[in-house]
Amino acid sequence: MQCDYYDAGACRSCTLMGTPYAGQLADKQTRAARSLEAHVPASAWHAPQANREVGFRNKAKLAVGGRRGAPTVGILDGDGRGVDLRRCGLYEPGLDEAVLALPDLLGEAGLTPYDVPGRQGELKHVLMTRSPDGELMVRLVLRSPGQRRRVLELLPELRSRLPGTRVVSVNLQPEHKAVLEGPDEEVLTAESTLPMRIDDLTLHLRPRSFFQTSTPMAAALYRQARTWIEEASPEVLWDLFCGVGGFALHAAGPGREVLGVEASADAVASARLGAAALTGPGPVRFEVGDATAYLSPSRRPTGEAPPDLVVVNPPRRGIGALAADLEAARVPRVLYSSCNATSLARDLALLPGYRVGRARLFDMFPQTTHAEVLVELERR
């Protein structure tokens, strides 16, 4: 992939820019295998899942700079000034057009970009996500509610200029620090979720929901997990750190009881929407809870046995105290999806009662060193 911004030195976010994609993928596989070689035998690795090297991102996280009437969207430089990257080649078709149209839209609306060095202004970030069906979620991160009225006035034109806009929200981030968003969010549209169709299922994203950066890679990851789950044929499956229910909903099947656990009440509400649309498979339910402690005997109802299979997709820091509970519960099989090989290796070291039977790398982030790894652990 060639990038004018990278060549000009304006943006260095894509650390592998200019490296042929086949080489990127091979290097990622080699690095992952080396990081995990104490726990994952070479024979366990399946061929890595390749991605498109351009146009693969379903979301844009845009820092807003510049001045009122002439905003920039992209990143901030070392001095906190806006660097305009509206023609970045990473965005998938449709999202790229929305990003390209955004600066003029914001400028005409009179929204004042936040000036980091001067600590003045209002609009800090715009976060956009595009669904496979061409719908958009647009979130505007403001320092205070002062320009909420301008955003409301902007809605009709935003929907006209950004076709497919379904959900628009305002997020408040009042602090002067490098934080993408704040704790308060107000949805301004009648629709509050963005449906994400993944193969034969539809997931529902709320403004603060987590979803994988590349929709095709998310679909490939879920399909791989579903295949391994079907081969194991568990009667009871728990999806811990379930988010909006991607793994749990793909694991549903006749005669199988599936439980998803997630700390975010919004994510659980979204997962329940996805479950409500299922027809045919066995029961799928979602609960708000601490996934790291849910397997502890003190949390399970008296006499309830551990599940036959546990799926974990934790944050970058890993599964924490859950490792000890997995060991103690002697769960027969675990699927672990990780975006951080370092924390994955640490967690595998805490699971000596398991062996890794299969592993696969999914290239969620071409042009960078980041990747997702799915491993299947079997009780020794």
* Catalytic positions: 339
CA distance 271 to 201: 11
First to last CA, the chain: 44
Length reported for the chain? 380
CA 66 centroid distance within chain:
29
E-only strand ranges, the chain: 59-67, 70-76, 82-84, 123-130, 136-142, 165-172, 184-187, 194-198, 201-205, 236-240, 257-262, 284-288, 309-312, 333-338, 354-362, 372-379
Beta bridge partners, 65, equal 72
CB 122 within 8 A of CB 182: no
CA distance 149 to 190: 17
Residue given tokens 């909420």 in the structure block: 148
| Helix boundaries (H) for 233-375 | 246-251, 265-276, 322-329, 341-349
CA distance 113 to 102: 13
